[in-house]
Every structure is written in C-alpha cells, then in structure tokens.
Amino acid sequence: MGKGSENETKRILFVYNPKAGKGTIVKNLHEIVNTFVKANGTVTVCPTQARGDACRRIQERDAGQYDLIVCSGGDGTLRETVDGLIKSGVSTPVGYIPTGSTNDFARSLGLSDDIGEATETIIQGKPFLCDAGTFNGENFVYIAAFGLFTEVSYATNQQWKNIFGHVAYILEGVKSLSSIQSYEMQIEHDEGVMKGNYIYGMITNSLSVGGFKNITGKDVSFDDGKFEVILIRRPATFAELNDIVISLVKQSFDAVCMESFKTSYLKVKSRDEVNWTLDGEFGGTYRDVEIKNVQKAFPIVVKNS
C-alpha cells in the first residue's frame, strides 16, 4: 500500500464524493477508515463539496506529502483526483473505491464495486502505471466523446442502463435521415486525415463504456500510449441506418458507417460547435479539439493478479 516499508506508517489522503451512489460511501466511512488505520495508515479525510473539489483539495494539500491518495465516487471523481495529481507534478499512487452509477474505468481495471473488497485491494494491491489523456490541455482518464450517445446518456446523468440499446431504439424510429444530428469534421490521427459527417465518436482507454464491457475491442492495453477510437458516420440510406442499429444491438461496431482504429492523438476540426463529454461529464463546446495520449501518466492501485 503506497510507498515505504510494510511497518512504516502510511500517510493517506482520502477524498470522497458524499453524494455518489446515493450516499453509499458515507454509510461505510467508518469501516473504510478503520481498515486503513489497521493497515498502519494515518488518514486525512476530505469530503468534496462541489465539482472540481477533489482536484483543488489535492493541490492545496500538497499531494507529494502523502504515500497514497484514495478517492471514492464515480468516474468524474476519479478524473478530478488524477487531474489534481498530475497538476501537482507528483507520482503518488491512487487508490479507487468506485461508488458511481456505471464505474466504467474501475470495471475495466478489474476493481470491485464492493466497498470492502475495493478497500482491501488498495491495501493488498500494487501500483500500475496507466495512460491518461489531455483534451485541449485538460486531463481526462478514459473517455472523450461527442454526438448522439452522449446527448442521451450523460445529459440524463447516466440513468440509462442500456445506453446503446436505447439509442438503437431511437434510431430505429427515425422517419427522416435528415433529422439525425451530425457534425462535419476533419480528423487527423496517427495514420492520416479523414473527413466526413459523424453522428458519434469516442476516444477511449477502457474496456467498458456506458456499463458495457469489451465494446472498444479485445486487445485494449491501458499503458501502450494509444487510444481506441470508434466513429460513426451519418448514414446515407435507410439500409445503412439499419446496419448501424443492428451493430449497436449486437455491440459489434462493424457496420459500414463505423470506423475503429488506434492512435496516440487526434486533431478534430468541426464546421459547427460540438458538445463533448470527458469521463462521463460535460467537457465543453468546441470547434477545434486536440486530444493526446499521455503514456503511463499516473499510478493506480490494482489487484496483484
């Protein structure tokens, strides 16, 4: 757990979102702190009060003086924690107790959403150097996305348990292809430049998105310096639209309008302003976006196996 020998006292900063998971973390706060203390830890507890609080608290408290930074909440809380860590310029390991609604990144890393088990993993596990990303200079952990899916899923606080199934249902009921929102874009990446009208795009470092496993491919590596990218072009015919719907239902992402590839960076230029989400939360509205993979950007504690 963290740095130093097993008998040495570990200094732990514990930042948590008290509203995540319907307040689940608050009910288990004593159990978590007690577990860390039994493992020879001295714990500083910081509940967040507003968006961006986790990042601010970590910077204000000098992350480098701690042996371990533990965060609890959803993927947004993890993003703020990693953001604070990177901005502080330190490599203190991060322990994650996921209590959000989907916990995509935790699921990808094999971290349990059982609070007791997740806490034990932090004590018994080992740090893993994981990639992160920058979005116009801002840090994110595992996904940047735009388009139809983000409008459905994140605008409703991820309450849809079957995001892709729901969007497939919406697309299936489309009476006019012109009614589908799309964005005219030029996209530069490792292999060249592409242009088109896109209804959705996601740039990920995750096995799970929206609660679904293995939709970004089977050869995902979290420390290879590459993103997995999936783009969906605007369908030109109802046959192509039907092909997209079938692929969404099957979660195969192999329709003729779908493109997938790996890249270390993207430069996206859009004719119109586009809403983006970062790690499941609103990330801003832009015409020009530059996304870069930062290889092995931060250490996160995972199971020894």
Residue of higher predicted confidence among 255 and 83 = 83
In this structure, what DSSP letter does residue 113 have? Answer: S
Angle among Cα 209, 212, 215 to the nearest 5 degrees reads 75
In this prediction, residue 157 has a pLDDT band, given cuts at 50, 70 and 90, of: very low
CA 270 from centre of chain: 23
All structural domains of the chain: 10-124 (3.40.50.10330), 139-296 (2.60.200.40)
Averaged pLDDT for residues 208-217:
60
In this prediction, residue 149 has a pLDDT band, given cuts at 50, 70 and 90, of: low
Residue 152: pLDDT above 70? Answer: no
**Half-sphere exposure (CA, 13 Å, Cβ side) for 238?**
5
Q: How far apart are CA 224 and CA 169, in angstroms?
A: 35
Distance of CA 122 to CAs 64, 172, 201, 256, 269, Å?
18, 44, 33, 43, 41
Residue of higher predicted confidence among 52 and 81 = 81
Averaged pLDDT for residues 277-291:
92
Angle among Cα 279, 202, 303 to the nearest 5 degrees reads 50
pTM: 0.86
Q: How many angstroms separate the first and last alpha carbons of the chain?
A: 15
Q: How far apart are CA 300 and CA 69, in angstroms?
A: 9
